[in-house]
Amino acid sequence: GVALVGLPVFIGALGFTGAGIAAGTIAAKMMSAAAVAEGGGVALGITAGVLKTIGAASFSFGAKTGLKS
């Protein structure tokens, strides 16, 4: 239960938010490095992309509670 609530908070703190990737954060650096490594795009399934998806989902407390059960 703690991980389910704490994980989105941790991901948000990295800079992966519901509004997108926050400038100047670890998230921005991860996506930039991934884009450079991939020649300009970001491949599906990479860690930064997965974290971006989780951050963008911005699960509500009700959704988190439903996922626990």
Per-residue pLDDT of 24-63, as tens digits, reads: 999 899 889 888 888 887 776 777 777 777 777 765 544 5
Q: Please give the tally of structural domains in the chain.
A: 1
Per the structure block, which two tokens stand in for 14? 């990295």
Per the structure block, which two tokens stand in for 20? 């997108």
pLDDT at position 28 is: 92
pLDDT at position 69 is: 47
pTM comes to 0.63
Range of the domain at 32: 1-67
Cβ atoms 12, 27 nearer than 8 A? no
Report CA dihedral (6, 28, 21, 62) to the nearest 10 degrees: -10
